[in-house]
Amino acid sequence: MKSYQLVLQYKVSPGDLTGINDLFELEELLSKVVKAPAQVDGHDVGSGEANIFIVTPDPQETFEAIRPILFRYSAEFKAAHRDFDEDEYSVLWPLNLRKFSLV
């Protein structure tokens, strides 16, 4: 089964422990909601961004399933996915975003 990396990206202010703790709570919630064979695969924080990584066979389906939760957390996020064999990401959200990258 082919796997993709789905990335959820949020802006965080350096030293904003409340925002980072909220992000960890979101990651924990997503871990309970994401259905197998998809799985939450961790996070990273740095350079004003926080990313949550999800491994999934169907990034669009997984994104649609978790989208209501993401909007309850914050409407200010980006979502994109890539095949693990690729470097370029395909944008899922926001729809007008042209390019997605990890810092």
Which structural domains are found in the chain, ordered by start? 4-85 (3.30.70.600)
Low-confidence ranges of the chain (pLDDT < 50): none
Question: How confident is the model at residue 13, as a pLDDT?
Answer: 81
User: Rounded to the nearest 5 degrees, what angle is found at the Cα of 100, between the Cα atoms of 14 and 64?
Assistant: 100
Rounded to two decimals, the pTM is 0.93
